[in-house]
Amino acid sequence: MEEIRRLLLRWYDRHRRDLPWRKTRDPYRIWLSEVMLQQTQVRTVLPYYKKFLARFPTLESFARARLDEVLALWSGMGYYNRIRNMHRAAGLVLEEGGEFPRDLQDARRLPGVGRYTAGAVLSIAFGQRQPVVDGNVLRVLARLYKLRGRPHSSRFQDRIWKKAEALVPRRRPGDFNQALMELGATVCTPASPACGRCPLEEQCLARRAGIQEKIPPPLQRRAPGVLHVAAALVRRPGQVLLVRHQDGGVPKGFWQLPSSPCHAAAGSRKALERLVSRWGGRVREKLFSLEHVTTMRRIVFHVFRAEAPKFRPAAVGGQWVSPDQLEHLPHSASLIKILTRACSI
């Protein structure tokens, strides 16, 4: 066990990526990076992390910000409950004195802070001997110890967490946890692991047995469901009409084109006409269909040009929005895709 620790930390010191959250011990900044990195790749996170800290450099500034402002800055990252939970949790931390809890159970009582996030912040920021298990760590440890089973079963999870807990050293626990994550992200990858570059190649039981690519077994994912949405593009010079979330495949409270779910492309015009007619408006020609894929579903937007000369946006919580204003409003990546396509017509 001591040899594994020594080899891994030496490898990490030589090969770790130069990432901004590895240059701080501020628990807020480490917490933010861990929340952003859930379900999101490093290259996507980097510009968002920089923008967030420019706007909210401290936990207090983040906790006191309006949720709309926070969501606007997060727009495009997806999994919006991550940042909603963190914003709520930051408010609770601020009420309790403004410092991230140093007790594991207290940390885990915060909204959105599970065993992994708590362990990551406590080990990296405060040097506590706490284990972490994310997808990368699970894969490394499953191969290292040749652990078989379904990765999400409680029995398998218990075994992995016990292995992780036993491995964490008293010295440099945060670096060790990051080393495990780094190894999984860059060397011990799901497909075609680079075993020849791995510092633990000789210790890896799966490698010895030649079954490293079979452990852990891949998850069986369901094909995402399909949602069809009819959307109205209503324009005036330099602006487009947006409304708050209705039922158009975007997160609650986000801004989008006036829209309505429909039964495939064939029913899109009728669905939209029912909506726009309430404003005394008219649906014109169909402009295009556009597909947006999320983890949970595939959304097909059928976009029509529409007119509503007598419509008052404030009557339904809508507003005319220019490109400069959009960055200050919560919006989804799908809206940007639609507007970008519309500008080319």
User: Active-site residues: which are they?
Assistant: 34
Instruction: Please give the structure tokens belonging to residue 130.
Output: 């706490």
Region of 100 (left: φ > 0; alpha: ψ -120 to 50; beta: rest) is: beta
CA 275/CA 273 separation, integer angstroms: 5
